[in-house]
A = this chain, B = another copy of it.
Amino acid sequence: MSSIKPPAALDALVAAFKRLPGVGQKSAQRYAYHFLQRDRDGAAQLERALSDALTNVQHCERCNTFTDQPICETCLSPRRDPGLLCVVETPADQLMLEQTLSFTGLYFVLMGRLSPLDGIGPNEIHFQRLLARAADPAVREVILATNFTQEGEATAHYLGEMLRARGINVSRLAGGVPIGSELEYVDGSTIAQALRDRRTLADR
């Protein structure tokens, strides 16, 4: 009895999908079958999109976000305040901040967060480039807007220490109770944080 061997091109496609984060054998197989069986147009579209993105998408020389120009539109905009530099983990975080319409400064995108166990150290989050960028005399304040996860907090702590040691003004997004939520349903560590960072009403 001969055992069944899938075509080599199918195996190769499954292997390629497995390089995506969080995608194992089963999902990769499902993706490959889906494209080959039900959506060959989609497969061709993804092929072209990968090719275009590899050719055209680079990192902004100034803020490190994804862009198809040497320096992104945001960094070039004359309407943004060059005195405020907001440090985020990803372009997705940057978009979230933009959508609040409450930040008019510039950004630096780390493209990650410190995670020693995954081999992501200061080099991988472009720490030297951030230092050089933050040393620009136009920058009055660096706002650390990494996530409030363990790794995001550790990254903010590390960046804060290093930047302050160079005499740069550093701040961190406030942690606290989410707007609209009831204390009863907020976790204890958030409430503890909100207590520690409580503001006297005179501050407003």
Contact = CB atoms under 8 A, between A and B. Distances in A.
Given A4-B94, A36-B54, A40-B54, 16 more contacts: A1-B79, A2-B74, A2-B79, A4-B98, A5-B73, A8-B56, A9-B68, A13-B46, A13-B57, A20-B42, A29-B92, A33-B90, A35-B50, A36-B53, A46-B46, A47-B54
B42 A57 contact: no
Contact of A112 (B1, B9, B20, B37): B37
A37 B34 CA distance: 26
Contacts of A53: 9-10, 12-13, 32, 35-36, 43
A3 B102 CA distance: 11
B39 A9 contact: no
Interface of A: 1-10, 12-13, 15-17, 19-22, 27, 29-37, 39-40, 42-57, 65-68, 72-74, 77, 79-80, 90-92, 94-95, 98, 101, 104, 111-112
A12 to B, nearest CB: 5
A143 to B, nearest CB: 16
B55 A42 contact: no
Given A20-B31, A98-B3, A36 B57 contact: yes
B50 A47 contact: yes
A46 B68 contact: no
Contacts of A111: 33, 37
